[in-house]
Amino acid sequence: MKKINLSLLSLVVMAGLSFSATAQTVTKKAKLTETELNRWSHLDLAKDTIPGMSVDKAYAELLKGKKGVPVVVGIVDSGVDIEHEDLKSVVWTNKKEIPGNGIDDDKNGYIDDIHGWNFLGDITKENVEYERIIKDKSLVDEKTYLAAKAMNDKKVAEATQGKARLEQMLATIVEGDATLSKHLGKTTYTAEEVNAINSEVPTIQKSKADMQKMLSFGMPIAELKEAIQKQLDGFVALLNGDNLKTDYRKMLGDNPKDITNTKYGNNNVMGPDKSEILHGTHVAGIVAQVRNNNMGGDGIANNVQILTVRAVPDGDEYDKDIALGIRYAVDNGAKVINGSFGKPFSPQKQWVYDAIKYAEKKDVLIVHAAGNDAKDIDYNDNFPNDSDDKVTEFADNVITVGALNYEYGNKVVARFSNIGKINVDVFAPGVKIYASTPNNTYKFLQGTSMASPNVAGVAALIRSYYPKLSARQVKHILMDSGVAIESDVIVGGKPADTRPFSALSKSGKIVNAYNALQMAAKMSKK
């Protein structure tokens, strides 16, 4: 499932404190400026007092005047706007295929796959996996079936409560927005303008307070209303059992239970609706937006080509699509694959495991989002993963990434981020990340979905400038070279739950491009 759709009811504006990084104490001197917020993941803890990945410092001090080799990065996601002004120049092109001739020129099984492959065809929405299990009990054993049914029951109960809250929230927005629009004499206004309202009128005072809360979610009121309505519609559909009555896969025409049935989908990597590829376009932008072109934001990596694999719908991805998508990216030259998706059930997980092992054999690094459930995935399932028993890794080419907040201190871990001393490897920026969105736009999004491509971008940098290093070596460089946080932090957004940052991941560190490139340079000489 796409990983940015965090509950609106859980989002907050977080305040900054301070922490000790390795031997250095850092104190925040001021609130982030707009410029700093737009690129905070690129900034340096010591220089900028922001827990970014020191990307700008790496370019200025380590990469200046150096030339790397092109690196293909596979984006297995919802699709990518390959026409975007800040991405079109970095889109991978299959030079072995003749565009539009209807022939599989390179004989890889995919006709006219010029910029990647769309395993979803014209599908945009899908069932979540527990719904598919409830509809087809034969997919799993009895224990898993009962777990899926229990999850559905829990989701229905949550939807009942959530529907009432969102309806009230929406009513508050409509009323408050109407009042303030009339008072201010305009329909669009900023948080600063609302804060500046000085009125003794009770209705205006109430609307001011209400809209201050709504604007704290960090998006324009119109977008917030749209997001709430979409989530509300989802709750209504769940309560009505709509998804259990619908087979979204049917229109694709394949057999999702047969991994050998590979001839399905099409070459339209943007899918049928650009509005549905926001997630994949944003992920791709984090990795590869052209740097220093005065358009939107900057990508982490230069010398990069984005290979699009559309395999993640609005709902849960099929194991078959992910397995074949990984193999497709590997076979077409990807050296890094980003996977910003995940789910708690995986009926055909072995297909994905086999694909991960195939990628390992072909020296491909897979970067995967840890998930946004504020859970410990040492004890809770989050697929795909690289350990069937949550203890022993069956491959050493997967790095799992948790999300950081932009304000350091005890709130530096994103309140939604999954954790795991064994099954989360590192942390990276994942709150308010600014990058490309469809139709030449740019937005802030958040989730471990955003943390993962930040790490994939650093991995691509290493593989570009130090191509002799293996995927395994790159993984461990990313883990070993990071910056350690030596203080306790709040976990899951619960102030009562504080733990050492070192206990939340295997490395106990945040990814740092500057340190990673320095370590890569040393290892490359051996």
Place 40 in a pLDDT band, splitting at 50, 70 and 90. very high
Asked if the model's pLDDT at residue 387 lies above 50, the reply is yes
d(CA 90, CA 390): 37
For residues 157, 160, 164, 165, the Cα torsion angle rounded to the nearest 10 degrees is 30
- Confidence category of residue 11, pLDDT binned at 50, 70, 90: very low
Q: Give rounded-to-5 percent helix, strand, coil for the chain.
A: 40, 15, 45
| Among the ranges given (10-19, 152-161, 445-454), the one the predictor scored with the smallest mean pLDDT | 10-19
Report whether pLDDT(380) > 70.
yes
What's this model's pTM, rounded to 2 decimal places?
0.89
- Burial tier of 399 (Cβ tally within 10 Å: 0-12, 13-18, 19+): buried
Amino acid identity, position 15: A
Give the pLDDT mean for 410-423.
97
Mean pLDDT of 363-373: 98
CA nearest to 461, candidates 355, 396, 360, 367: 367
Q: If DSSP codes are grouped into helix, strand and coil, which group holds residue 456?
A: helix
Q: 259-274: per-residue pLDDT in tens?
A: 999 999 999 999 999 9
Section 89-95 average pLDDT: 97
Q: What's the rounded mean pLDDT across residues 496-523?
A: 97
What is the per-residue burial (b if ≥16 Cβ within 10 Å, else e) of 466-478? Answer: beebebebbbbbb
* 175-186 residue pLDDT tens: 999 999 999 999
Cα 6 to Cα 13: distance, rounded to the nearest angstrom? 14
Q: What is the pLDDT of residue 46?
A: 86
pLDDT reading at 369 higher than 70: yes
Query: What average pLDDT does range 471-494 have in this prediction?
Result: 96
pLDDT at residue number 18: 28
Residue 151 and residue 381 in contact, taking contact as beta carbons nearer than 8 Å: no
Residue type, 351: W
In the predicted structure, residue 45 carries a pLDDT above the cut 70: yes
362, two tokens: 């072909």
Name the residue among 226, 243, 242 with its Cα closest to residue 166.
226
What is the pLDDT, as a whole number, of residue 526?
Answer: 77
Rounded to an integer, the average pLDDT of 488-513 is 96
In one letter, which amino acid is 123? I
| Lookup result for tokens 């492959």 | 117
| The predicted structure's pLDDT at residue 462 | 98
Residue 338's φ and ψ, nearest 5 degrees, are -100, 135
> On the CB side of 340, how many CA atoms lie within 13 Å of its CA?
36
Q: Residue range 340-361: average pLDDT?
A: 98
- pLDDT computed for residue 217 by the predictor: 84
What are phi and psi for residue 235, nearest 5 degrees?
-65, -45
pLDDT at site 14 = 29
pLDDT above 80: residue 2? no
The architecture of the domain spanning 8-127+247-524 is 3-Layer(aba) Sandwich (3.40)
Question: Is it the case that residue 3 has pLDDT exceeding 70?
Answer: no
Q: Tens digit of pLDDT for each residue in 300-343? A: 999 999 999 999 999 999 999 999 999 999 999 999 999 999 99
**Per-residue confidence (pLDDT) for residue 291, from 0 to 100:** 95
Stretch 344-352: mean pLDDT: 98
User: Mean pLDDT over residues 211-220, rounded?
Assistant: 88
Q: What is the pLDDT of residue 25?
A: 46
Which residue shows structure tokens 């940015």? 4
Residue 26 has pLDDT above 90, yes or no: no
* DSSP calls for 112-180: T-SSEEETTTT--B---HHHHHHH-GGGS-HHHHHHHHHHHHHHHHHHHHHHHHHHHHHHHHHHHHHHH
Average pLDDT, integer, range 136-150: 96
DSSP 490-523: EETTEEEEEEEGGGSSSS-EE--HHHHHHHHHHH
Return the pLDDT at 21. Answer: 34
pLDDT of residue 4: 42
pLDDT of residue 454: 98
**Residues 408, 421: contact at Cβ < 8 Å?**
no
Q: Are 287 and 134 in contact (CB under 8 A)?
A: no
CA 111 to chain centre: 29
Q: Mean pLDDT, to the nearest integer, of 178-204?
A: 94
Please give the pLDDT value at position 28.
53
| Residue 14 DSSP one-character state | P
Check whether 67 has a pLDDT greater than 70.
Answer: yes
**Whole-angstrom Cα distance, residue 296 to residue 289?**
8
Domain ranges of the chain: 8-127+247-524, 146-242
The string over 276-304, giving b where at least 16 C-beta atoms fall within 10 Å of a residue's C-beta and e elsewhere, is bbbbbbbbbbbbbbbbeeeebbbbbbbbb
Residue 30 scores a pLDDT above 70: no
> Can you tell me the distance from the alpha carbon of 53 to that of 516, in angstroms, rounded to the nearest whole number?
10
The amino acid occupying position 172 is T
Give me the residue label for tokens 């049935």: 261
